[in-house]
Amino acid sequence: KAGVTQTPRYLIKTRGQQVTLSCSPISGHRSVSWYQQTPGQGLQFLFEYFSETQRNKGNFPGRFSGRQFSNSRSEMNVSTLELGDSALYLCASSLLGGATNEKLFFGSGTQLSVL
């Protein structure tokens, strides 16, 4: 069974640009969540999607958005990039999400550098 796939693996952008990251969950998983990881703040929850609907959102500005497609693949978008957006962006999938005993499966992440 293929794992969680994130593309691209690395990305370099300049301030003011916008970026779209992609996440393909494990087949059959319907919940996809996104996290930002930086050395200073650690792993921070961005949002979670289930059946094409955003179910939960972390404390990030509106420049961060996402969506989920009918095949459960998800994308996240960051508009008007700032230097502080440089981070490793991770997505995780699970069968249903929201179940306290459910495992999360993470991708390897997209390393975004904003210059």
Partner 1 sequence: DAKTTQPNSMESNEEEPVHLPCNHSTISGTDYIHWYRQLPSQGPEYVIHGLTSNVNNRMASLAIAEDRKSSTLILHRATLRDAAVYYCILRDQGDDKIIFGKGTRLHILP
Give residues in contact with partner 1 (CB under 8 A): 4, 31, 33, 35, 42-45, 48, 55-56, 58, 90, 92, 97-98, 100-109
Q: Per the structure block, which two tokens stand in for 84?
A: 């502080």
* Residue 85, phi then psi, degrees to nearest 5: -85, -5
> CA–CA separation, 81 vs 97, rounded Å?
29
CB of 83 vs partner 1, minimal distance in Å:
22
Query: Judged by CB, which is closer to partner 1: 55, or 73?
Result: 55
- Nearer residue to partner 1 within complex by CB, 48 or 85: 48
φ, ψ for residue 38, nearest 5 deg = -130, 155
C-beta of 75: minimal distance to partner 1 in Å? 17
Write down the residue that tokens 């969540």 correspond to. Answer: 33
Nearer to partner 1, 18 or 94 (CB): 94
Amino acid making up residue 92: A
